[in-house]
Amino acid sequence: MNQNTIDTAGAIVTAHCLTGPKGRKRLLLFLISPQIFDFDTFLPVAMTLKSAHPEWRVLFVTFSKRNHEFIMSSPTHRSAIEKTGVFLYLGWDHAKSRLGGIALRLRSVLMICAWILQYARPALFLQRPFLRAPYAWWYALARLRGGNGYVLWKSRSPDIVHHRLRQVRKEPPPKEVPSAVVRLMNRHCDAFIHFHDEQEENIDWASGFGSLDGVRRVKIGLPHYLKPWRDHVAEEVRLEQEKLAKDGVPKETELYCMFPAKPHSHETLRKAGSIEEAFSTALRVLCKLRPNALVLCRPHPRILNEPYFRELMKEVGQDRARLCFAHPEVLLAMSRRAIFNNPSNLMFSSFQGRFIDVSDYPDQHFEDFSAKSLADGFGAVYVDPFSDDFEERFAEVIENDDVFGDLGVTERRDQLIARNPADIEPLLDLLTAPRPHRSRSAVGTSERST
């Protein structure tokens, strides 16, 4: 067993990964939710902290078996984890009985308690405030050991990405009731770590997860531009290219990538079936227009066994389109174009790439934004998948690089990156400074400009 993994029963942690502290060792514990994209935000941050302090222990924990399996299926994630720390599944999805599930939950809670108590000044990271048990218990133990609990915000996308979602889900999440532990401590977290200056609406929308009033805010810029992560992505691009060459794909082959969305994403689109129809149309036309190209498909894990997806991949053939679980950033760097059949977070995360948006938007979208992608300005060009001239217009954005040379296509992305450069120093300062008392009067003055 690899020293950075754990068996699905959560019972075996190999030799050196969680031994007691020596010298200046310190525990950084990242608690990963069942949502796939949280890890893509946490991993570059953890990798950069580890690069700055190699003596620190980095531990990722998830309670979702599906999430663990999907993350470990990505070669980019696996190799980054090996450079950074340990990724453990400590869930109970595999329990054979209710009693077994209770036993596994108790064991996981106690294991994490023991790890926290081993280290002086442990730092806990969660994508929401430590409001509920057992997170509140672990936070209290970290504070007892002189450490802290931080909210590391899950979303890197700007507020515009949630425009349609807020129209569909008009009410914000209901406010959660704090546990007795956090009420006793009179705090939900010690700082809120976010990424750029276009996230306020999204953060306010999620206020039901726990109040952030009086909590220090720290901005670190877009985490996927941190140097250790950029170097890792470049290395993974080379390895993926070598893998394709070994599979018989000629070096000169044009590569395209697609990220087919999960079916229920249609709630922000025109109708049920919009996801499936747009993906099918775009893939068939792309294979027709570029008969010698190869399309690398990285589907959402929930559609891997969907009949429409499996049948379509079989129809176009392995030599035209194939599954690929490389990280999205790796695929974007390798591909001539990236095609999206819904307004994915990937389009708004300020990644470098040439995006074609073929989402089947509802009429309200065109009233609000005209015939443009919701990600207009972030590198995306829109082509209506059900217009009479779809094939002609799709061919134009496939063949003509000048379409993406227009300043407006990437202007918002470029400005966001310029205003919010990646900088891990504010977070390092937070982690290494003596623990201050929280002061409500300091709100709004403690965020370091980056």
Exposure string over 93-104, b if 16+ CB within 10 A, otherwise e: eeeeeeeeeeeb
Q: Where in the chain is the domain with CATH 3.40.50.2000?
A: 249-418
Locate all alpha helices (DSSP H) within 133-263, ordered by sequence.
135-144, 163-168, 180-185, 200-205, 227-246
Q: Which of the 8 DSSP states describes residue 152?
A: E
Q: How far apart are CA 369 and CA 87, in angstroms?
A: 42
Residues 191/447, Cβ–Cβ less than 8 Å: no
DSSP, collapsed to helix, strand or coil, labels residue 356 as strand
CA atoms within 13 A of residue 97's CA, in its CB half-sphere: 3
Q: Which CATH superfamily is domain 249-418 in?
A: Glycogen Phosphorylase B; (3.40.50.2000)
Q: Mutual orientation of helices 75-84 and 36-52 as an angle, nearest 10°?
A: 30
Exposure string over 383-397, b if 16+ CB within 10 A, otherwise e: bbbeeeebeebbbeb
CATH placement of domain 27-227+421-442: 3.40.50
Per-residue pLDDT of the chain (450 residues; tens, 9 = 90+): 343 444 433 433 433 345 444 445 899 999 998 877 789 999 999 999 999 999 999 999 999 998 899 899 889 999 999 999 999 999 887 777 888 888 989 999 999 999 999 999 999 999 988 988 899 999 999 999 999 999 999 888 888 877 666 665 656 666 677 777 776 777 789 999 999 999 888 787 666 677 777 889 999 999 999 999 999 999 999 999 999 999 999 999 999 999 988 766 777 788 888 888 999 999 999 999 999 999 999 987 777 778 888 889 999 998 999 999 899 999 999 999 999 998 888 888 888 889 999 999 999 888 988 999 999 999 999 999 999 999 999 999 999 999 998 878 999 999 999 999 999 999 999 999 886 645 433 333 334 433
